[in-house]
């Protein structure tokens, strides 16, 4: 995609030295995370990780997709951490806050180096990505799967052209991601699909969801995970600015649905019902929804107007 390549070329990359490679994850179905990069040229308007850029006094909007921090020493630091006698070989989730296979990985190869270190240390791992570049590392991922354990989750919120181009301006086309799923499955690497996030009014129609789940199953995915978009501070402001510019007709309904960080419970229950039916229809196993299930569901995220909310079509 020309736009994706242009975004990556125009981004500013800043090499940094990290003190730790592994980060403890509280309240998640995994204990440790690993992110070789901070910021992401994919520029997905809904990305919950935008808020992390504020720690560097950068904007959660444009800066998140145009100023990328490269943890130049992450592989070296990771090896030291994995060599500690106290390391218990718990699951390490890669790419939870920024895509480990965004275009710059082609040059730095920090994700591949991290995978090799984890395999050497007999540590189970999982990777979440939107990047078809993951097929480059099929050899290491196969070693992981045959050893301590390895799994790839391809993020595929939609296979429809219009919402993809609107919501994910710097990502690879859904067809390329489907081909990557097929290649991984054919090579014996366990692969699942995350229909995440489901964006109300953009990708939430049952027919849209079925097209995505069906395509995932047809290309060899073993499991499906899903969640409804949530809007923490930083992400919320950016996403609503995007809506005001590109889809102002959806703003009033989104304001009703998102009285807080999470969409109202009735809407999420509707989505769950549809997705569970589709999962069973296409013979896919279940992957726990993230991050809603892990981060809680504050009662304040619901309001009386949300109880009757239904968005049947995008």
pLDDT at 52 (0 to 100)? 60
pLDDT at 6 (0 to 100)? 60
For the segment 123-169, what is each residue's pLDDT rounded down to a tens digit?
999 999 999 999 999 999 999 999 999 999 999 999 999 999 999 99
Half-sphere exposure of 113 (CA within 13 A, CB side): 18
Spatial contact of 135 and 168, defined as CB atoms under 8 Å apart = no
Q: Is the pLDDT of residue 256 over 90?
A: yes
- Find, among 102, 105, 150, 147, the residue nearest to 129 by Cα: 102
Between CA 42 and CA 21 the distance in angstroms is 22
Write down the residue that tokens 């060599």 correspond to.
Answer: 83
Q: Is the pLDDT of residue 2 over 90?
A: no
Between CA 28 and CA 314 the distance in angstroms is 31
> Which whole number is the average pLDDT over 227-237?
93
DSSP letters of 160-204?
Answer: -HHHHHHH-TTSPPHHHHHHHHHHHHHTT--EEEEEEEE-TTTT-
The whole-model pTM stands at 0.87
For the segment 39-94, what is each residue's pLDDT rounded down to a tens digit?
899 889 999 876 664 555 444 446 566 789 999 999 999 999 999 999 999 999 99
Helix (H, G, I), strand (E, B) or coil at 282: coil
Spatial contact of 4 and 40, defined as CB atoms under 8 Å apart = no
Rg (the chain; Cα; Å): 19
Per this entry, what is the length of the chain? 314
pLDDT at 105 (0 to 100)? 97
Between CA 134 and CA 120 the distance in angstroms is 19
CA 270, 274, 276 angle in degrees (round to 5)?
Answer: 115
Confidence of residue 29 (pLDDT cuts 50, 70, 90): confident
- Segment (H or E) for 279: helix 265-281
Lowest mean pLDDT among 23-27, 190-194, 207-211, 274-278: 23-27
pLDDT at 62 (0 to 100)? 61
**Helix, strand, coil shares of the chain as percentages rounded to 5?**
45, 15, 40
For the segment 70-83, what is each residue's pLDDT rounded down to a tens digit?
999 999 999 999 99
Confidence of residue 31 (pLDDT cuts 50, 70, 90): confident
Higher pLDDT, 59 or 242: 242
Confidence of residue 8 (pLDDT cuts 50, 70, 90): low
CA 90, 91, 92 angle in degrees (round to 5)?
Answer: 115
Residues 6+ apart with CB under 8 A from 160: 174, 203, 208, 211, 212
For the segment 282-303, what is each residue's pLDDT rounded down to a tens digit?
999 986 443 333 333 333 333 3
- Find, among 153, 39, 156, the residue nearest to 91 by Cα: 153
Higher pLDDT, 270 or 57: 270
Confidence of residue 172 (pLDDT cuts 50, 70, 90): very high
CA 268 to chain CA centroid, Å, is 19
| 150 beta partners | 125
Dihedral of CA atoms 81, 23, 128, 264 in degrees, nearest 10, equals 160
Confidence of residue 18 (pLDDT cuts 50, 70, 90): very high
pLDDT at 301 (0 to 100)? 33
Higher pLDDT, 237 or 53: 237
Q: Is the pLDDT of residue 11 over 90?
A: no
Q: Is the pLDDT of residue 245 over 60?
A: yes
Domains of the chain: 2-308 (3.20.20.70)
> Which whole number is the average pLDDT over 178-190?
97
pLDDT at 28 (0 to 100)? 74
């Amino acid at each position: 995609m020309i736009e994706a390549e242009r975004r990556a070329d125009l981004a500013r990359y800043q090499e940094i030295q990290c003190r730790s490679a592994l980060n403890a994850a509280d309240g998640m179905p995994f204990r440790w995370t690993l992110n070789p990069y901070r910021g992401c040229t994919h520029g997905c308007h809904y990305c919950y990780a935008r808020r992390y850029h504020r720690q560097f006094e950068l904007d959660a909007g444009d800066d998140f997709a145009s100023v990328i921090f490269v943890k130049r020493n992450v592989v070296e630091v990771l090896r030291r951490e994995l060599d500690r006698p106290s390391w218990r070989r718990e699951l390490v989730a890669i790419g939870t806050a920024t895509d480990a296979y965004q275009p710059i990985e082609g040059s730095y190869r920090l994700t591949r180096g991290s995978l090799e270190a984890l395999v050497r240390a007999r540590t189970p791992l999982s990777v979440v990505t939107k990047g078809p570049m993951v097929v480059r590392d099929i050899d290491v991922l196969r070693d992981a799967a045959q050893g301590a354990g390895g799994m790839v989750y391809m993020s595929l919120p939609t296979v429809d052209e219009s919402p993809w181009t609107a919501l994910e301006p710097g990502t690879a086309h859904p067809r390329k991601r489907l081909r990557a799923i097929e290649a991984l499955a054919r090579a014996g690497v366990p692969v699942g699909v995350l229909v995440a996030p489901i964006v109300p009014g953009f990708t939430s129609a049952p027919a849209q969801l079925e097209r995505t789940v069906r395509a995932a199953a047809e290309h060899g995915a073993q499991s499906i995970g899903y969640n409804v978009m949530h809007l923490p501070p930083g992400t919320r402001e950016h996403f609503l600015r995007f809506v005001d510019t590109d889809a102002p007709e959806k703003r009033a309904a989104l304001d009703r649905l998102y009285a807080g960080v999470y969409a109202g419970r009735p809407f999420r229950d509707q989505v769950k019902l549809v997705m569970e039916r589709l999962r069973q229809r296409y013979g896919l196993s279940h992957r726990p929804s993230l991050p809603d299930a892990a981060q809680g569901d504050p009662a304040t995220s619901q309001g009386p107007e949300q109880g009757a909310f239904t968005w049947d079509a995008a």
